[in-house]
Amino acid sequence: MTYKLSVLDRSRTRQGDEPSAALRDTVAFAQQVEDLGYHRFWVSEHHSVPGVAGSAPTVLAAAVAAATSRIRVGTGGVMLPNHRPLVVAEQFGVLASLFPGRIDMGLGRSVGFTDGIRRALGVEKDAMGDFEDRLAELAGWFTGEPAPYPGVHALPAEGLRPPLFVLANEAGADVAARAGAALVIGGLKGEGAMAAAIERYRAGFVPSAWREKPYVMVAGNVAVAETRDAAHRLLVPEAWALAHSRTHGVFPPLRPAEEIEGKLIPSMSQRERGFYEAALRGHIHGTEGDVTAALDALVARTGADEVLVTTSTYDRAALLDSYRRLAAATGATAAAAATGATAPAPPASPDPAPSWP
């Protein structure tokens, strides 16, 4: 394996479960993928989305880091327009102090997706336009160059350097380059634009206190199973949820693929079916051979240093099996075994055991 393999988990809720179950599952899942040899485990930020429990990524990252011992832990990402840079710096300063050498600071520029959420967060839709300025201020709290507010210190962040990643689309790659940050870019559905953005990022990269040379992580949905049909079925719950959100205005918890294929798809409107079919396209899925060939080709085309994998499906056992198959096929498990890396036993807790197998 010539590239690192990492995981983004969005704490997706499932029909019939409370959001707390999704959060406990995320922590347990991090322990599992650490044992499989993955390099990083990242969590995300979503607000007022019924199908996603992950609303406070730095809090969840702390729980994940405390329950693991080797895997890097970070955010994919903290949406900087939603927060004051000082507070974000303080949060990552605490994380990096408690878990030295293991924390990644992944930042994005999205804001709430409805007017109500944006009002509750105290931001406007155009706040995304201030992302580069906020990013520079955030960096200044760590480096002091320049000091954002003379006489004010972001403790314990000052002097620390948790690796800085910018989550970007094609245009945002230029921001990552000017900031001297690592680039995280998705776009398996439009690889041509993604490849062009990566080229611009590398050409425009400015060495910084965070990184001396460019670093590219490509992100996308990946599903692996014994057969291609089984891998395709792993994608069905998320594709249905996306189509439902586009036509009903609510992003719902995941439902079983069998229920979706047997009951929900036949009753879809033509418009909803169009969204559903579009949501199924552009992902990497199949058997181990199919997926490793596709990932190798993707890395060859983009020169990526790392692949960030995300998969959301209802069946937890099948989800874990997908990540297990991927790790074994790409050599991540063998690499972890060679270094003697193992995951710690889950901590004792009065709560019910997480439902991961």
Where does the chain have alpha helices with state H? Answer: 19-36, 57-67, 85-98, 115-121, 131-143, 172-179, 191-204, 228-248, 257-259, 270-280, 288-302, 316-330, 332-339
- The neighbour count for residue 76, using CB atoms within 10 Å, is 29
* pLDDT value of position 348: 35
Helix axes 316-330, 228-248, angle to 10 degrees: 120
Q: CATH code at 89? A: 3.20.20.30
Non-local (6+) Cβ contacts of 167 within 8 A are 76, 77, 106, 107, 108, 109, 184, 185
Q: Which residue has the higher pLDDT, 355 or 109?
A: 109
Any domain includes 133: yes
pLDDT digits (tens, 9 = 90+) for 118-151: 888 888 877 778 999 999 999 999 999 888 899 9
Mean pLDDT, rounded, for 253-270: 95
Quick one: which H or E segment has residue 249?
none
- Got the DSSP string for 297-336? HHHHHH--SEEEEE---S-HHHHHHHHHHHHHHHTHHHHH
- The neighbour count for residue 163, using CB atoms within 10 Å, is 17
AA identity, residue 252: P
Confidence of residue 67 (pLDDT cuts 50, 70, 90): very high
User: Can you say whether the dihedral through the CA atoms of 243, 244, 250, 256 is positive or negative?
Assistant: negative
Which of 67-71, 192-196, 240-244, 346-350 is the least confident region? Answer: 346-350
Average pLDDT, the chain: 90
Q: Helix, strand, or coil here: 127?
A: helix
Any domain includes 250: no
Any domain includes 257: no
With a cut of 60, say whether residue 295 has pLDDT above it: yes
Rounded Cα distance between 4 and 72, Å, is 12
Beta bridge partners of 42: 8, 74
Non-local (6+) Cβ contacts of 306 within 8 A are 3, 4, 5, 6, 39, 40, 215, 216, 217, 218
* CB distance 89 to 152 below 8 Å: no
Tokens 């499932």 -> residue: 14
Enter the tokens of residue 221.
């949905």
Any domain includes 126: yes
Any domain includes 47: yes
Any domain includes 233: no
Number of folded domains in the chain? 1
* CB distance 42 to 8 below 8 Å: yes
Whole-prediction pTM: 0.91
Rounded Cα distance between 149 and 164, Å, is 21
Tokens 């485990």 -> residue: 41
* CB distance 15 to 253 below 8 Å: yes
* CB distance 221 to 283 below 8 Å: yes
Mean pLDDT, rounded, for 243-257: 93
Rounded Cα distance between 62 and 98, Å, is 9
Which of 59-73, 102-116, 257-271 is the least confident region? Answer: 102-116
Phi, psi of 27 (to 5 degrees): -65, -45
Quick one: which H or E segment has residue 286?
strand 284-286
Any domain includes 227: no
Q: Helix, strand, or coil here: 190?
A: helix
Owning domain of residue 95: 4-221+287-339
Any domain includes 187: yes
Rounded Cα distance between 175 and 145, Å, is 18
Phi, psi of 297 (to 5 degrees): -65, -40
pLDDT digits (tens, 9 = 90+) for 306-342: 999 999 999 999 999 999 999 999 988 766 666 655 4
* pLDDT value of position 190: 66
